[in-house]
Amino acid sequence: RKLMVERAMFGGALVLTLMGFVQNVQQLVALRAVQGALTGTVTAAMALVASTAPRERSGYALGLLQMAVWSGASVGPLLGGLIADTWGYRATFWATGTLLLIAGLTVWRFVHEDFEPVHQEGGRDGFWDGVKLVLRDRGLLSLFSIRLLVRMATRLMAPVLPLFIQEIAAATARIASLTGLISGVRAASGAVGSITLGRASDRLGYRRVLLACTTAVVILYVPQFFVTAPWQLLVLQGALGLVMSGVLASVSAMLSTLAPEGRQGAVYGVDASVVSTANAVGPMLGATVAATWGLRAPFLLAAGAFALATVLVWFLVPRARKGPAVPG
């Protein structure tokens, strides 16, 4: 699994650096496709952490990883904007490639893994073996259904948020800066929530924290439909990032506890596919809803999706402390 993290980071470093030299859109699209095939650093890192951390501390360990992801999401847009304004757009690709190279070298030098391959009949696992594993396990299948719904709801506002901010902001407001500020505050609060709620889920139970956080997300999405000023949206988005991180940390920890020993990589590989599917469908659905019923409508749709996710958690995720495995 360490090798997979290195593959994702070194491959991403090469592809992102090459993007800085493209001469047309076709070349950029081709490299983006290669990037999608080679990278997946977060998924690879989650598999590595899940397989090495004690299962009773998986919520804390994966929450710590999510904190790093959220921290990068809060700083990255600001840093990228500064680099683009100072040295041009191409420099942002070179800077990203350099950061991935440094991260890959850090993993290669400092991360140690005692890996023993799991020998199974029929040879090595492929992607479809992971899918079959999920389909045979009721707990994993239920959790991935919740994962798909939650991620799709999270991505509904992605194409709409800048337009919505422009609608409620003053005519002289700097929309790009406002959007970056709101996204940065949400990501920063998510970094704080990942570690605190991840630790709380180890102590209180993953199901309990997941239920509390999905319910809180519903409560926070509804008033965003009624906001009239950017500062109101800023406050609500900041609080949303905090509880959203609890959702992600709890789901990730539950995947770790439900995955059979030695099969975490297969489970998190399917998770990456589920997340990618939601990332593709969510923005398209959000844009369609906004074009049909207005820019505020996706907030209510997201609230409804998280309400449904809360119901699914209540009925499909067993009442258990510290996320023990669900019978298949």
The interaxial angle of helices 206-224 and 175-204, nearest 10 deg, is 150
**Is the pLDDT at 327 greater than 50, yes or no?**
no
Whether 176 is covered by a domain: the verdict is yes
In b/e form, how buried is each residue of 75-106, taking b as 16+ CB within 10 angstroms?
ebbeebeebeeeeeeeebbbbbbebbbebbee
Which residue, among 236, 247, 174, has the nearest Cα to 206 in the 3D structure? 247
Q: pTM to 2 decimals?
A: 0.74
Position 326 in a domain: no
Range of the domain at 214: 2-112+125-316
Domain annotation covers residue 328: no
Residue 36 lies in a domain: yes
Does pLDDT of 115 surpass 80?
no
> Is 242 a member of any domain?
yes
**What's the rounded mean pLDDT across residues 236-258?**
88
Picking from 209, 203, 269, 268, the residue whose alpha carbon sits closest to that of residue 243 is 209
Length of the chain in terms of residues written: 328
Report how many domains make up the chain: 1
DSSP category for residue 158: T
Note whether residue 286 is domain-resident.
yes
pLDDT digits (tens, 9 = 90+) for 254-296: 887 887 776 766 787 788 788 888 888 999 999 999 999 999 9
| Domain contains 263 | yes
Identify the pLDDT of residue 45: 78
**Domain holding 226: CATH number?**
1.20.1250.20
User: How confident is the model over 21-40, as pLDDT tens digits?
Assistant: 999 999 998 998 888 777 77
- The pLDDT of residue 134 is above 60: yes
Q: Is 152:281 a contact under the CB 8 Å cutoff?
A: yes
Under a CB-based contact definition with an 8 Å cutoff, are residues 4 and 44 in contact?
Answer: yes
**Whole-number pLDDT of residue 158:** 86
